[in-house]
């Protein structure tokens, strides 16, 4: 009495080969142009891509760099904080968010996240502010904006810089109570993003960028990302060698044109999951903050009975449905950050989420039938 059909077609967590196949002629041409011009470092495609991405994100300055982790390092360097300054970060995030602060000799201060949106809890962030606080890093996790209304107000009230780690929410927007709408990344003093291949705007290797509305800061970031030099062999400050390859910039120009379509496709997949999974006992679909659009870097459900999360993951795997757990451990449980001295139980929401979240396949090419199949398996379980 088998009731479940086989998957309509093999289901992947993401399908970059198929996405790139559709863009192949344009990608080939971009590659060929860079090969022909042989300007592999700081070639014309880098500036062109920065300008196009800036335009897409509402006119802010974009400073490309080598990856999203370097972007966080550069963002913090641009704030010129004193050694040991505190940087408030969410306890539920990818580790790069605080790695940069730790490497710079700054002190990561963890705060818990909201149980509904998984994003940094503004009240907890405000409570963690001390005279030594230099910045708050808000992560727009899984594709939805953190509470930028509250965070912007806290940042202004305490004179503490707001950095947005926008590696997962490129193109998302947030509507303020004033009626004004802003792109994720365009609200804080400086924000960062990643073009790691699996991100919503991914290159074919490593890449990253910073975003700022402040022209002086954009110049500073440009220098910091290129050995602190103002012009060749003239070094104003100690910087990094963190440039976006011309080749990646050229490929990103092609992929950026596809981004609005891909975002809409991800949102359509999410809406189908929402509809198919609504009312399914034992799971919660991702909560939406009405003020933010959601670009669904991940579609992350919560399994109410955390004991059964890993069973559900195995069951889905058996049915040909790959899933991921982002993230299995909160930051304070990582051995590398034991030195911060946090204890188990200190960030209960982050800890609870690590035990209950499950990210389902979501990418622009996932079909209606595939989504229905995944939802059917989950309901069956």
Ligand X SMILES: *Cc1c(COP(=O)(O)O)cnc(C)c1O
Chain residues in the site for ligand X (CB under 6 A): 67-69, 93-94, 96-97, 139, 165, 167-168, 194, 196, 206, 208
Other C-beta atoms closer than 10 Å to the C-beta of 296 total: 26
Shortest Cβ 132–ligand X spacing (Å):
24
Question: Would you say 31 or 95 has its CB closer to ligand X?
Answer: 95
Shortest Cβ 141–ligand X spacing (Å):
7
Question: Would you say 111 or 167 has its CB closer to ligand X?
Answer: 167
Shortest Cβ 96–ligand X spacing (Å):
4
With residues binned 3-state (H G I as helix, E B as strand, rest as coil), the percentages for the chain, rounded to 5, are 40, 20, 40
Shortest Cβ 69–ligand X spacing (Å):
3
Show the tokens assigned to 246.
């011309």
Question: Would you say 191 or 323 has its CB closer to ligand X?
Answer: 191
b/e map 100-130, b = 16+ CB within 10 Å: bbbebebbbbbbbbbbebbbbbbebbbebbe
> For ligand X, which residue has the nearest CB?
68
Shortest Cβ 199–ligand X spacing (Å):
6
Give, to the nearest 10 degrees, the angle between helix 368-380 and helix 246-277.
Answer: 50
In contact, 363 and 19? CB cutoff 8 Å: yes
Question: Would you say 168 or 370 has its CB closer to ligand X?
Answer: 168
Question: Would you say 68 or 319 has its CB closer to ligand X?
Answer: 68
DSSP state of 143: G
Shortest Cβ 70–ligand X spacing (Å):
7
Shortest Cβ 120–ligand X spacing (Å):
11
Question: Would you say 327 or 373 has its CB closer to ligand X?
Answer: 327
Question: Would you say 184 or 377 has its CB closer to ligand X?
Answer: 184
Distance between CA 35 and CA 339 in Å, rounded?
A: 47
Query: Which value, to the nearest 10 degrees, does the dihedral of the CA atoms of residues 349, 117, 164, 97 take?
Result: 40
Q: Give the DSSP H/E element, type plus range, for residue 138.
A: strand 133-139
Question: Would you say 206 or 245 has its CB closer to ligand X?
Answer: 206
Question: CA-based Rg of the chain, rounded to a whole angstrom?
Answer: 21
Is the C-alpha dihedral spanning 307, 310, 311, 313 positive or negative? positive
DSSP H stretches of helix in the chain: 16-22, 24-37, 44-56, 68-79, 96-103, 122-127, 148-158, 215-224, 246-277, 309-318, 348-356, 368-380
Q: What is the DSSP string of 304-355?
A: SSGGGHHHHHHHHHHTT---B-S-SS-GGGSGGGGGG---TTSSHHHHHHHH
In contact, 177 and 148? CB cutoff 8 Å: no
Query: Which value, to the nearest 10 degrees, does the dihedral of the CA atoms of residues 196, 182, 350, 337 take?
Result: 60
Shortest Cβ 137–ligand X spacing (Å):
9
Question: Would you say 7 or 197 has its CB closer to ligand X?
Answer: 197
Question: Would you say 120 or 312 has its CB closer to ligand X?
Answer: 120
Shortest Cβ 205–ligand X spacing (Å):
10
């Amino acid at each position: 009495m088998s009731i479940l059909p086989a998957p309509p077609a093999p289901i992947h967590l993401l399908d970059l080969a198929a996405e790139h196949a559709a863009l192949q002629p344009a990608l080939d041409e971009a590659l060929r142009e860079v090969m022909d011009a042989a300007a592999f470092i700081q070639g014309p495609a880098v500036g062109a891509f920065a300008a196009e991405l800036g335009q897409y994100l509402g006119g802010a300055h974009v400073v490309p760099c080598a990856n999203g982790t370097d972007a966080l390092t550069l963002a913090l360097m641009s704030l010129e904080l004193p050694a040991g300054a505190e940087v408030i970060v969410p306890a539920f995030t990818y580790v790069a968010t605080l790695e940069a602060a730790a490497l710079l000799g700054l002190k990561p201060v963890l705060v818990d996240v909201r149980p509904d949106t998984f994003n940094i809890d503004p009240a907890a962030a405000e409570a963690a502010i001390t005279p030594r606080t230099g910045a708050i890093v808000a992560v727009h996790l899984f594709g939805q904006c953190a509470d930028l209304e509250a965070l912007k107000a806290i940042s202004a009230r305490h004179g503490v810089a707001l950095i947005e780690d926008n590696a997962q929410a490129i193109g998302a927007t947030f509507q303020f109570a004033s009626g004004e709408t802003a792109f994720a990344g365009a609200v804080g003093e400086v924000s960062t993003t990643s073009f790691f291949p699996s991100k919503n705007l991914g290159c074919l290797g490593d890449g990253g960028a910073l975003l700022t509305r402040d022209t002086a800061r954009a110049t500073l970031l440009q220098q910091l990302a290129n050995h602190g030099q103002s012009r060749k062999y003239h070094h104003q400050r100690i910087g990094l060698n963190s440039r976006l390859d011309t080749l990646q910039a050229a490929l990103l120009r092609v992929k950026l044109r596809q981004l609005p379509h891909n975002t809409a496709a991800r949102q359509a997949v999410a809406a189908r999951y929402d509809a198919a999974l609504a009312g399914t006992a034992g799971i919660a679909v991702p909560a939406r903050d009405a003020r933010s659009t959601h670009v669904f870097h991940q579609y992350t459900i919560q399994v109410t009975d955390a004991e059964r999360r890993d069973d559900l993951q195995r069951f889905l795997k058996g049915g040909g449905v790959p899933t991921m757990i982002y993230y299995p451990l909160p930051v304070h449980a990582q051995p590398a950050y034991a030195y911060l001295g946090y204890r188990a139980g200190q960030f209960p929401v982050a800890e609870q989420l690590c035990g209950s979240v499950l990210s389902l396949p979501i990418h622009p090419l996932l079909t209606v039938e595939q989504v229905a199949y995944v939802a059917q398996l989950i309901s069956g379980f």
